[in-house]
Chain A
């Protein structure tokens, strides 16, 4: 058996955390909130470990063989960006207005521009989808996308006041909720199964 102590701890604490939801005993709820606060601290440390691992990978890339490996300049940029932001943040605190302004000056244009690039790639991908797979599913998908874009533009808002047509338009507007509910229930069932497999010790993603 791999990692028996970690498995026992995961199963035990997981069941206690789960019982806190379904058994209305005050001490169970208290233990659950204590476990959650520990998990939050540990998750933060795990995230820090992941960030420092990222830094280590880029340091290795800089030192690695062959010495002039392609992409070294980019690793240097990652490390420089990390070092400046991390040190400035530690010294100034994250709430400092100038630190906020400096981080946002990088974050906002890059994130917004990446989403903007998505607009072009999505339009191109949808056209390619219709070219490559002109089946009824693809056509229905495209028709639905175009219809909901028109709906979002407000072009059909004049129809809402009409007695029966307005009601039907409302039904069509809410129609994606039916599929979304099915998807959500499917995701929920999948999550439930994953969680139960961990609580039963069938899956042990911590025994690395």
Chain B
């Protein structure tokens, strides 16, 4: 009995267990997902040790130059402090390490968001008016204006700030309500397209599993 046969059998059993969820939540599905959680957690732990901690912390501390070792003492101490997060009594000792992660993460988040998302997307919206493409200039202009309306109205749809007035229900200004309703149309189209993409992917996975089950039955029995 080759190893491939065993792995095919494991794959077959797990596929059947997970697909059994189509008939409702049941012990087979929970069995497969519990095993998956355990294996995925173990794999993630091994990857973190071998691909991050060993090459970035442990090996440089053991084999690096004096300057390298000196700089790595700080993350080493912070890593040890972070382990105290496992203990409810000493959890506060890990706050400093969490502060470093959150602080650096926030700095990177703000920088990345401004340079990557906000400036990038705004520039893309403006660049559309350069009217460069294979289509006719009228179509390109129509597309650029339509996209600008779609982008702005979608943003307005998510603006929920209102001025409170005494004895009146809190409502957005009428122009904002109108723009938001246009945004709702664009949002429905976008979410529909996203849904179609996810559905097509899921359908491909379903076909793949059906094909795998068919081939596994031929191989195993």
Which A residues form the contact surface with B (CB < 8 A)?
A: 3, 5-7, 9-18, 20-22, 34-49, 51-56, 74-75, 77-86, 89-90, 93-94, 98, 101-103, 105-120, 122-123, 126, 137, 140-149, 152, 164, 167-168, 170-171, 174-189, 191-192, 194-196, 198-199, 205-208
Contacts and interface: CB of A to CB of B under 8 A. Distances in A.
B217 interface: no
A48 B121 contact: no
B59 interface: no
B170 interface: no
B14 A41 contact: no
Interface in B114-144: 114-115, 117-118, 121-122, 124-125, 135-136, 139, 142-143
Interface residues of B, number: 118
Nearest to A191: B113
A119 B203 contact: yes
B7 A101 contact: yes
B197 interface: yes
Contacts of A140: 185, 188-189, 192
A103 B205 CA distance: 19
Contact of B19 (A43, A85, A117, A178): A117
B35 A181 contact: no
Contact of A176 (B114, B117, B190): B190
Nearest to A75: B34
A48 B185 CA distance: 44
Contacts of B71: 34
Contact of A39 (B40, B105, B185): B105
Contacts of A101: 3, 7
A72 to B, nearest CB: 11
Nearest to B22: A120
A92 B201 CA distance: 34
Contact of B51 (A39, A94, A120, A152): A94
19 contacts: A17-B104, A18-B106, A39-B100, A42-B101, A44-B53, A47-B44, A77-B38, A82-B38, A86-B42, A102-B7, A110-B36, A115-B205, A116-B205, A142-B192, A148-B193, A179-B151, A182-B183, A183-B154, A184-B117
Contacts of A56: 86
B161 interface: no
Nearest to A3: B95
Contacts of B109: 191-192, 194-195
Q: Which 5 A-B pairs have the closest CB atoms?
A: A81-B38, A144-B192, A182-B154, A178-B150, A85-B42
